[in-house]
A and B are shown apart, each in its own frame.
Chain A
Amino acid sequence: METNLKSKAFQEFSNAAETLVNPVLQRWKDQGGKVVGYFCSTVPEEIITAAGLTPFRMRATGSTGTEESDAFYSSINCSFPRHCFNQVLTGDFKFLDGIVCVNSCDHVRRIYDNWKRFVPTDFIEMMSLPRKTGPDQVGWYTEELAMLKDKVGKHFGVEITDDRLWEAVKLHNETRRLQKKLYELRKQEKPPITGAETLAVMVAGTAMPKEQYNEKLRELLDELSGTEGPGGHRARLLIVGGILDDPAYIKVIEDQGGLVVTDSTCFGSRLMWVEVDENASDPISALAQYYLTDRPSCPRMYGEHDNRAQYVIDMCREFNCDGVIGERLIFCDSWLVEHYMLGQDLKAAGIPMLKLDREYLTSGIGQLRTRVQAFLETMGR
């Protein structure tokens, strides 16, 4: 990615976001370390880390087509699973030692069905994520996580004790705190890091062992603290939506003059804005409580729209945003109605919103530019 940042740490994050296996992960593998892939940010990475494994959030970075996977899907399936499963079939995910799937949405769920049936894999698990976020559902999810913990422990031959889990929780909370510090810097009038660059840092965090990631992130924070970016942008924007792991998409927006200063996405602030309660009675129920209830939710969860809208409005105020861009993968059932409702809520709060549909691989840049430029112009910028 084109960048003005001279930082070596950032360069590593940026490279990690542009590929599946980054050098840090490769070293981990070379030293005999194992990697477990997972779909959807509602899978607790902490359980994987506690087993001495490195969690890897599934993406389809570097995919060039869906020729292999199209036979397994239809033309009305979301482009993310089609690209991702294509890479599964072409062997790009051979570096994984296991997979954890979740019924996050029907499109992604079908990756599990196809993967299990057609691609020999030693460890592939499906978790059941509740639709609601109340205490009953937390109870259910606690049981799901306990089962996942046992299965991971058994397969990889590790006893995942509470101590190990608490250690993982603390490590991951540290990641969250550091990432949040990075976001804090973006509140400045001239943020030292762009939205595209920040997304690269966030994506890298889902593809490296957390100790090494935290170390590099501390380095980046030291370099950026007390510095200013070039400024001169026409507007400050928040981006809200689902799976968005491609910094190049945000770069197109920022090249039109709209600086993305914060977000509500599942590769962004929703991963880390809130922490897991380190003082809870047991780690598994603390994780269930966090992943299901405490953290800002995604529209997959029922009955939570008002909280989600409020989160976006609060973030806008906190980061002094002029407008909101809502992005949605075409055929995404979870985000179907959300953007329309959110647009109404934002209108009432006096915040303009631009809604964009997109494909998983950034394309149709001409129309994207026109929309973003026109949006900035409607704001008088």
Chain B
Amino acid sequence: MESGIFHSTYQKDMALRHTPIEKARLALIILFLLVFPFFADNYWLNLANTIGVVAIGAIGLNILTGFTGQISLGQGAFMAVGAYVAALMSIHWGAPMWLTIPAGAISTALIGAIFGIPSLRLKGLYLAIATLAAQEIIIWVITHWDAVTGGVDALNTKNYLWFGGANHYFSEFQFYWIILALAALTTMATVNIFRTRVGRAFIAIRDQDIAAEVMGIDLFKYKMLAFATSSFFVGLTGALIAHWRQIVTWERFTIEVSIFYLAVIIIGGLGSVSGSIYGAIFMVLLPAILNNIGKALSGVIPSMDILIPFVQQAVFGLVIILFLIFEPEGIAKMWKNIRDYFRLWPFSY
């Protein structure tokens, strides 16, 4: 019987997984992710791919908002930058995907760092408004710079594997592996960032920026770095969406998207990488589940049919509110509580 986990060396303290059970669980998850696509139909693959894409974007936002404490309402627009860069490179230059996706991510990192400059003087709600301006400015530029972005019209992204190749149509099954690989890389990279000096600096800035500065952390440098790192992954999401859906329009990257991603990390758990993934799973599956319930119920009481879509939306809001009341620190904390309960059973207090 355990009373807790105690570390006697620094190495153990820094380890990502402390117990054999945690290692076994990771192995099981990996096994599931590798086997899942062979049994799932296209609908489930589509949902899984959506979760993967949202998870990458949520991890990106969590680096900035959850770990560094800088709120951002510009998520949607930053995704748009990644998506448009990737789409335009493929359309105009015939650039292959392995070039356009990193290029989308890197250019978003640059743009993100520029829009992060106000964070030096602004905090909290004021920064939220500044990033809201970023959202509006970027979308305005995209919809009005017709010569480059095609204005409000949709862009049809081409998926090239090599310069001068033919446009390749990926099935959901094939794209699953691309998204899975990038989501895994994102997760590993982010988890490890927070075991380095840079990551600790981000957390110090979140907890108390003045104290962090006194300790010798260059606020300007690290805030810019946080914006750039976060935007890199956000841009990666955008570029992935561009190639996965093969169509890019500004309508996909509105302020609603920014708020959706904030909801994902708040529900999943601020300042937690696994929380971002839980949040993505929850926020993608909940509407799908509600749709299915709505579909199953339609026709049961015909006179209620017109109300179902409205009820669906109300329930979506209600579930989120209930979740936050039950566990304001998100699903990540909920999972930790459950784990601790069983580990310390029967003496869990």
The answer to whether A and B come from one shared complex is: no
